[in-house]
Structure 1
Amino acid sequence: MDKMHLARMQFYGNHGLFPEENKLGQRFYVDLTLSLDLSEAGRTDEIGTTVNYAELYERVKQIVEGRTFRLIEALAENIASDVLHQYTNVNDVTVRVIKPHPPFDIHFDGVTVEIVRKRESL
């Protein structure tokens, strides 16, 4: 199966358990990997035979910036569900949500959640 990757999309969201996170917000990164057949797009050079990644970026932006989730797991699940419902040519999607600066008094390079959802599980 072919793959399409959208790497390190950057958004500003208000996700987290703490009231300060919901009020102040912070930066989030989202990576997507879509599994789909890209052979027709390669042969025809037509956008209608693939996923328009500019449109997909806007859909993800609406989810990340337009809603508030307590858990980045829920954010990832909502993105995966939207992708599989909107793009019927996608067989499965991997969603990685990165919270680079969690509000804890510990030092590490962020928290990442990665989920894989398949069309047959809909």
Structure 2
Amino acid sequence: MDLIHIHDLRLWAHVGVLDHERRDGQWFQLDITLGLDLSASAKSDDLSATADYSLAVGALQALVSELCCLTIECFSEAIFEVLERLYGPLPMHLVLQKCHPPIAGFTGSVAIERRRNWSVQQGFYAI
């Protein structure tokens, strides 16, 4: 199985427990991995034989223009739903990072990592 990686996709989203996070929005960073067989597109050089990652980027940019929720877990679920509508039930992995969480005295970031249709037995590993 082959992998397509989308790294460092920056999205401005209205997600957070605090009212101002949902009202004003904030930066998130997203890494996505899609597991699929790329051999047909590698041989044919045919975009229709692969998962066009530009569609994912555009669809996720559209998602954040209308999304408003409390948790990054809910945000990640919406991301999976968008990706499944585009590509079907591929093995998917994501890391969704809230770049500047409003926690007093904290200057780091917070992230969640999730997988869908992903199995170690099948040999899918995120990088």
Cα distance in 2, alignment partners of residues 4 and 72 from structure 1: 23
Mapped contact 2:73–2:112 kept (Cα < 8 A): yes
CA-based RMSD: 1.7
Report the identity percentage: 26
Letter in 2 for 1:63: L
Unaligned runs of 5+ in 2: 119-127
Give the secondary structure class of the aligned counterpart of 2:21: helix
- Is residue 2:44 matched to residue 1:44? yes
Given that residues 11 and 65 in structure 1 are in contact (C-alpha distance below 8 angstroms), is that contact kept between their aligned partners in structure 2?
A: no
Residue 21 of structure 1 aligns to a residue in which SS?
helix
Q: Tell me how far 1:55 sits from its aligned partner.
A: 1.2
Distance in 2 (CA, whole Å) between partners of 1:65 and 1:115 is: 22
Residue of structure 2 in register with 1:91 after alignment: 90
Corresponding letter in the other structure for 1:58: G
Runs of 4+ aligned structure 1 residues displaced above 4 Å come to none
Offset at 1:104?
1.0
| Residue of structure 2 equivalent to 1:62 | 62
Distance 1:114 1:75 in 2: 12
Residue correspondence of structure 1 range 1-122 to structure 2 within 5 A: 1-88=1-88, 91-118=90-117
| Structure 1: gaps of 5 or more residues | none
